């Protein structure tokens, strides 16, 4: 049947949600468990109930709206938290489009062969303890120590954050016990990259999601007076970092084309004009859609770091902070999405997702699928994040029709 | 006459002074205008008065002890402020040895042909507004805006710091009006570098003092999602900084051997694991004992930065924070010091000072001379800063005997 979303209603929902947590820089600041996030959660609950879905929240704060039926559950969703000063579409389009799909399924009285559930996962952006807190809790993939003794990205013990909420460490760790058996999980998301726009294609069908390593690293040398220590006698930790950054980037760009390596943060110690840095702390992130490449990058990049350290009389240290494995999407879902695209007459292309998504966590328990729509100018995690409403309508229609195929 | 210092008294003075501002890390934290600095100032005042010198403090907090006579003044001194968690010898040896020289001149009733003055200059370490506040005030080299509207290294408006003291902006700016006409200024200091120890020579006679430029710089690129922006499309400000740091260091090390370039502080923005740095702020310091080299380094290093920026699609910006010019010591002072060394039987060598000293500021108004004693392991500005008491005795004897030659 030729079922379509109501784009006006979808757009209105996104605009309402986008006003919650609006900040003075024109962006949306709605990190999980912030006052703005709780306001957005209340809004979503009322929307789910208004749509006639059965509302449920688990111990990790994941929110669900269910159309009951016997059998394994088909789920669709994403997240409504944002990075500080982020945009109004990252995550929100997936939750609101899944909600709209549920409303259309109910309005058209589609006969269900399986239950359908809308999902909104807590803290996909990792402002609390690592990315994907909610979906990892949902899948039973959290470490107890991380939840009981972890520190947030803003330096506060996670348990102190929890004290100001209705949630507890034990409740988060038990959230997965409330999980229904899953058939499949679909997620519509903005691409957060330039490929679809560059290719002028409105729909991306994700084939792979990159895995990543987050590491906190340092080169340790010797500080000294910048005016009296000859250049050739220095053990300048920052020059070690500079040397490593260029070599490692070059290595990944040439040997592992398509994989990414990023140094996003650095701090030099003691950190003044006239003291040679004795220590350079930095974050190291690398990503690849291939598990094999990810393993090779880890080995090769560390060998590079050790080589730079020994050449320059430095020490290299590193510890893992977070890690996800690459996911390959089940061919049956890719084929289903491509078939529906053809029926709808939407141009589409397959691509790999460099960004991480809740879907990759759910892949541990069911087949998943992801639909991307273009991000104008590739902008995300910023106030300038946008979507073309026509693209959103196409993405939401594809999500709806694929869900109908999966639940029927 | 064979006049010598009383090393036991000198050592006791240094140990007394070194206990003031002793911190929990085993160092000395006595930045200018801190409670510890005021305690040290009171100690110095009482020592100057106890020695029978005429005590005077100018509008910038510089402290003096004078032996009156007609004619142009011969001065010797240094500073008693320290960097946070610094050592007990940097600066202190120069002030206490000058005081000891004055005591010995009075005890031996040396007939004076000129007045002699011991000096201790405020904030040589630049914890307030730039290095050499006291000696620059003494020489009338301060900018009005810097004093009236400047900010300290710890972020507080300088005028708010002044409110908690007996000093005022106008008093600091007028300090030079109280300056006597100067004949010469001598300063004994620890080397703060490895050369004298490496050469096993107890006395360094400074021929040149390096000038330096302090600049606050940044590369500006474009931030973006670390998972979705291909390496070849990035404008990563940190990689620009890394590239520049290696090239600029290499350039100075090869083309301007003996000059120094240091990047001591860096901050990446927005500064997270998964965001490409859109901006990299950093400090740039370069020093040279040659004014010609300093000018060339400035030109060449900026050309390198512009070249890196244009290759990588970045913008380079920079502003001057502080600047001193290289000083060449008057040959008559170098010869006088070398002659006294020979008489005393002390091995000595000529060297250039990479570190800055009050002496270089006084060079604007009189002939100056500097005596270095070895810094074991080259350590300074740290709790491990030390001197060998035998070296200190040699340095102080040389200072005393050269002063006697200058005042007689």
Among B227, B241, B262, the residue with its CB nearest the CB of A355 is B227
Among B239, B322, B353, the residue with its CB nearest the CB of A249 is B239
Taking the C-alpha atoms of residue B252 and residue B259, their distance in angstroms, rounded to an integer, is: 7
CA distance B96 to chain A (A): 23
Contacts of B271 in chain A (CB under 8 A): 264-265
Prior bond of B291 cis (ω within 30°): no
Nearest chain A residue (CA) to B251: A231
Chain position carrying tokens 């004014």? B291
C-beta neighbour count of A86 within 10 angstroms: 23
Give the tokens for residue A147.
Answer: 């939840």
Per-residue pLDDT, B224: 84
Per-residue pLDDT, B90: 97
Give the tokens for residue B143.
Answer: 């900018």
Angle formed by the axes of helices B7-18 and B35-50, nearest 10°: 160
Query: What secondary structure letter does DSSP report for A218?
Result: E
Taking the C-alpha atoms of residue A196 and residue A231, their distance in angstroms, rounded to an integer, is: 48
Band (A59; pLDDT cuts 50, 70, 90): very high
Taking the C-alpha atoms of residue B371 and residue B104, their distance in angstroms, rounded to an integer, is: 19
- Residue A204's beta-bridge partner residues? A349, A372
Alpha-carbon torsion, ordered A215, A216, A222, A225, to 10 deg? 120
Q: Do B227 and A267 touch (CB under 8 A)?
A: no
Helices (H), A108-185: 133-139, 144-149, 158-163, 169-173
CA distance A86 to chain B (A): 12
Among B262, B271, B272, the residue with its CB nearest the CB of A226 is B262
Cβ-count burial of A56 within 10 angstroms (0-12 exposed, 13-18 middle, 19+ buried)?
middle
Assess contact for A327 and A334: CB atoms under 8 A: no
Contacts of B241 in chain A (CB under 8 A): 242
Strands in A266-386 per DSSP E: 266-269, 275-276, 279-288, 315-324, 327-328, 348-353, 367-373
pLDDT, one tens digit for every residue, chain B (408 residues):
689 999 999 999 999 999 999 998 889 999 999 999 999 999 999 999 999 999 999 999 999 999 999 999 999 999 999 988 899 999 999 999 999 999 999 999 999 999 999 999 999 998 898 889 999 999 999 999 989 998 887 788 999 999 999 999 999 999 999 999 999 999 999 999 889 999 999 999 999 999 999 999 999 999 888 988 888 889 999 999 999 999 999 999 999 998 999 999 999 998 888 889 999 999 999 999 999 999 999 999 999 999 999 999 999 999 998 889 999 999 999 999 999 999 999 999 999 999 999 999 999 999 999 999 999 988 888 889 999 999 999 999 999 999 999 999
Q: pLDDT tens-digit profile of A151-160?
A: 887 788 999 9
Q: Do A238 and B258 touch (CB under 8 A)?
A: no
Chain position carrying tokens 């996003």? A264
Contacts of A281 in chain B (CB under 8 A): none
Assess contact for B125 and B42: CB atoms under 8 A: no
Interface contacts A/B by beta carbons within 8 Å:
190
ipTM of the complex: 0.84
Q: pLDDT tens-digit profile of A333-383?
A: 999 999 999 999 999 999 999 999 999 999 999 999 999 999 998 888 888
CA distance A162 to chain B (A): 23
Disruptive mutation site among A29, A238, A253, A273 for chain B (greatest number of B CBs within 10 Å)? A273
Nearest chain B residue (CA) to A222: B379
Helix (H) or strand (E) holding B402: helix B389-407
Chain position carrying tokens 């058996």? A181
Disruptive mutation site among A226, A254, A278 for chain B (greatest number of B CBs within 10 Å)? A226
Give the tokens for residue A340.
Answer: 């529906």
Nearest chain A residue (CA) to B209: A227
C-beta neighbour count of B222 within 10 angstroms: 17
Structural domains in chain A, sorted by start: 7-209+328-407 (3.40.630.10), 211-324 (3.30.70.360)
| Closest of A374, A377, A379, A359 to residue A184, by C-alpha | A359
Q: In b/e form, how buried is each residue of A358-385, taking b as 16+ CB within 10 angstroms?
A: bbbbbbebbbbbbbbbbbbebbbbbbeb
End-to-end CA distance of chain B: 12
Taking the C-alpha atoms of residue B82 and residue B37, their distance in angstroms, rounded to an integer, is: 9
Handedness of CA B299, B301, B304, B305 (dihedral sign): negative
């Amino acid at each position: 049947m030729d079922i379509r979303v109501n784009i006006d209603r979808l757009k209105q929902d996104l605009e309402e949600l986008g006003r919650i947590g609006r900040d003075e820089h024109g962006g949306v600041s709605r990190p999980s468990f912030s006052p703005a996030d709780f306001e957005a959660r209340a809004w979503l609950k009322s929307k789910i109930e208004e749509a006639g879905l059965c509302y449920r929240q688990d111990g990790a704060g994941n929110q669900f709206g269910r159309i009951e039926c016997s059998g394994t559950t088909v789920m669709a969703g994403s997240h409504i938290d944002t990075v500080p000063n982020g945009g109004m579409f990252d995550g929100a389009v997936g939750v609101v489009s899944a909600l709209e799909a549920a409303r259309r399924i109910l309005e058209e009285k589609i006969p269900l062969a399986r239950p359908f559930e809308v999902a909104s996962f807590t803290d996909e952006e990792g402002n609390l303890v690592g990315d994907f807190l909610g979906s990892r809790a949902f899948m039973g993939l959290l470490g107890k120590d991380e939840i009981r003794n972890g520190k947030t990205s803003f330096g506060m013990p996670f348990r102190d954050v929890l004290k100001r909420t209705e949630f507890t460490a034990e409740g988060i760790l038990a959230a997965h016990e409330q999980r229904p058996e899953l058939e499949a999980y679909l997620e519509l998301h903005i691409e957060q990259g330039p490929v679809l726009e560059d290719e002028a294609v409105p729909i991306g069908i994700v084939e792979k999601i990159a895995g990543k390593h987050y590491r906190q690293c340092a080169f340790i040398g010797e500080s000294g007076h910048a005016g009296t220590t000859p250049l050739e006698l220095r053990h300048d930790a920052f020059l070690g970092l500079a040397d490593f950054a260029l070599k490692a980037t070059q290595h990944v760009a040439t040997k592992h084309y398509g994989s990414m390596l990023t140094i996003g943060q650095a701090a030099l110690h003691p950190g003044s004009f006239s003291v040679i840095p004795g220590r350079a702390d930095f974050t190291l992130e690398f990503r690849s859609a291939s598990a094999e490449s990810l393993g090779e990058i880890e080995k090769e990049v560390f060998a590079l770091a050790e080589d730079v350290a020994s050449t320059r009389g430095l020490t290299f240290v590193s510890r893992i902070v977070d890690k996800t494995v690459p996911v390959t999407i089940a061919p049956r879902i890719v084929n289903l999405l491509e078939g529906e695209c053809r029926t709808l007459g939407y141009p589409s292309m397959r691509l790999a997702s460099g960004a991480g998504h809740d879907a990759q966590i759910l892949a541990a328990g069911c087949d998943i699928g992801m639909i991307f729509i273009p991000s104008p100018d590739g902008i995300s995690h910023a106030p300038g994040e946008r979507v073309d409403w026509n693209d959103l309508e196409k993405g939401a229609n594809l999500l709806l029709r694929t869900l109908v195929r999966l639940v029927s």
